[in-house]
């Protein structure tokens, strides 16, 4: 079921993003007087199609992960003399720039609308309250303490752990001190703390900003009550049931879910005597956690049991909601921030500060799309907005075969006063295909490595 949900989620996400991207090209092409021959959602053989009064074929094709807009163009086939004024290659360079740029711009507009809808509808975020501070960590050296709420990173206000993580990720590679403002629970006035960092999160896979600083988010105490059980895993096989409350493991009492997890993870292959309370009775079960490999090559015990959810105290939640006009400004700022963050990540990957193993391909995108869909509409829309920005940024990279490569040719044409030669464009196309193909293979390889 999870695999099916992931596949459906990624089809919906990529289908929507690519369709919106191609609609940007289509809408501007029409207004520049270019005849559009086909607008296809998906690749391959059309499953459905119809023609409008302009002679454009709108089609839904068999392979849903993609789409394209085909325009009248003498470079792709003969054009009748009475229609040459409708061909793409006969338009001015500024019209061609507008048509090509419209696709990525459409993705940024989609992200803007998505963020605007989230801010108007309102979101509930967990306040960035520090739970634990690891000894001798940068946070401890800087003076951060448990119970403080982080209010700003390097002067940028933060209201949630998502804000904190975004600000920290944007500072990968930093050395020196990281300025963090935080306030105690009983105080409304934040203090500034200087956290020493050196090559902050360089080449981490994946980046772990909070762990690197030595900070753990505050979480409510979670009692060790079983909620979900995975079929075929040790917990279900041993007779554990939903609603069971774990009392002790190996004769040692446990009163929190984290304590229970620690005991299980530390005992792969070891049979544990687990005492549980069920319907007022105490039962003893023998459970043998199986080995589960970690990304770093180690292994931990795993039994396939999930915990019952608990409610967060109201004082630890932040309601983020704006009026329609203010939300528009906030959405524009978030879209701009995420765009700059994506560009900065690409720059740092080229500099070697971010490991290329952080590249994500279709498998990882499908997993995240499925997880966000299961987490609720708010999470799904937020992921959709971020992926739309990523698609827009990537398409603007000056690589032949991408929109950014075509824009590069047109900028050169503006400067030189004449188009780039067909021979140069063909050579650039081969380079572009090689680069994009290499990136796709790398992303797929790292996807498979994460699965294994």
Residue where the block lists tokens 């790292």: 446
- 22 part of the active site: yes
Can you tell me the distance from the alpha carbon of 423 to that of 435, in angstroms, rounded to the nearest whole number? 19
Can you tell me the distance from the alpha carbon of 201 to that of 183, in angstroms, rounded to the nearest whole number? 25
Which candidate in 22, 149, 167, 275 is catalytic? 22
Can you tell me the distance from the alpha carbon of 159 to that of 318, in angstroms, rounded to the nearest whole number? 7
SS (H, E, C) the chain: CHHHHHHHHHHHHHHHHHHHHHHHHHHHHHHCCCCEEEEEEEEEEEEEEEECCCCCEEEEEEEEEEEEEEECCCCCCCCCHHHHHHCHHHCCHHHHHHHHHHHHHHHHHHHHHHHHHHHHHCEEEECCEEEEECCCCHHHHHCCCCCCEEEEECCEECCCHHHHHHHHHCCCCCCEEEEEEEECCCCCCCEEEEEEECCCCCCCCCCCHHHHHCEEECCCCCCCEEEEECCCCHHHHCCCCCCCEEEEECCEECCCHHHHHHHHHCCCCCCEEEEEEECCEEEEEEECCEEEECCCCCEEEECCEEECCCCCCHHHEEEECCCHHHHHHHHHHHHHHHHHHHHHHHHHHHHCCCCHHHCCCHHHHHHHHHHHHHHCHHHHHHHHHHHHHHHHHHHCCCCCCCHHHHHHHHHHHHHHCCCCCHHHHHHHHHHHHHHHHHHHHHHHHHHHHHHC
- Could you tell me the CA-to-CA distances from 108 to 262, 400, 402 in Å, in that order? 44, 21, 16
**The token pair that represents 41 in the structure block:** 């959602």
- Catalytic residue numbers read 22
């Amino acid at each position: 079921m999870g695999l099916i949900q992931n596949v459906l989620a990624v089809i919906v996400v990529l289908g929507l993003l690519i369709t919106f991207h191609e609609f940007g090209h289509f809408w501007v092409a029409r207004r520049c007087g270019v005849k559009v021959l086909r607008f296809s959602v998906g690749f391959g053989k059309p499953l459905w199609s119809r023609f409008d009064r302009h002679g454009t074929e709108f089609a839904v094709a068999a392979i849903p992960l993609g789409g394209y807009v085909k325009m009248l163009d003498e470079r792709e086939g003969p054009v009748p003399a009475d229609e040459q004024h409708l061909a793409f290659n006969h338009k001015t360079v500024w019209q061609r720039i507008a048509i090509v740029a419209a696709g990525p711009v459409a993705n940024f507009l989609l992200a803007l609308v998505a963020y605007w809808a989230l801010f108007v509808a309102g979101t509930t975020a967990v306040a960035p309250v520090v739970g634990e501070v690891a000894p001798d960590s940068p946070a401890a050296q800087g003076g951060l303490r448990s119970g403080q709420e982080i209010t700003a990173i390097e002067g940028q206000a933060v209201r949630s752990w998502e804000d904190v993580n975004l600000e920290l990720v944007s500072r990968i590679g930093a050395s020196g001190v990281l300025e963090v403002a935080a306030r105690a629970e009983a105080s409304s006035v934040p203090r500034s703390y200087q956290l020493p960092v050196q090559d902050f999160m360089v080449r981490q896979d994946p980046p772990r900003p909070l762990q690197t600083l030595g900070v753990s988010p505050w979480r409510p105490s979670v009692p060790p009550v079983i909620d979900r059980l995975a079929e075929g895993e040790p917990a279900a096989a041993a007779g554990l049931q939903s609603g069971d409350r774990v009392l002790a493991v190996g004769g040692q009492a446990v009163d929190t879910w984290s304590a229970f997890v620690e005991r299980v993870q530390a005992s792969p292959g070891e049979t544990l005597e687990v005492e549980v309370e069920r319907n007022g009775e105490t039962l003893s079960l023998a459970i043998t956690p199986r080995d589960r490999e970690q990304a770093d090559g180690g292994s931990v015990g795993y039994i396939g049991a999930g915990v019952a959810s608990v409610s967060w105290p109201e004082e630890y939640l932040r309601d983020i909601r704006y009026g329609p006009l203010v939300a528009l400004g906030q959405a524009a700022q978030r879209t701009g921030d995420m765009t700059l963050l994506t560009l900065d990540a690409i720059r740092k990957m080229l500099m070697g500060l971010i490991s290329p193993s952080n590249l994500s391909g279709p498998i990882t995108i499908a997993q995240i799309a499925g997880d966000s869909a299961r987490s609720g509409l708010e999470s799904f829309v937020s992921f959709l907005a971020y992926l739309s920005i990523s698609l827009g940024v990537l398409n603007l990279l000056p690589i032949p075969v991408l929109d950014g490569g075509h824009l590069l040719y047109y900028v050169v044409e503006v400067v030189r006063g004449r188009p780039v030669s067909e021979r140069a464009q063909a050579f650039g196309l081969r380079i572009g295909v090689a680069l994009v193909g290499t990136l796709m293979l790398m992303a797929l390889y790292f996807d498979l490595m994460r699965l294994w």
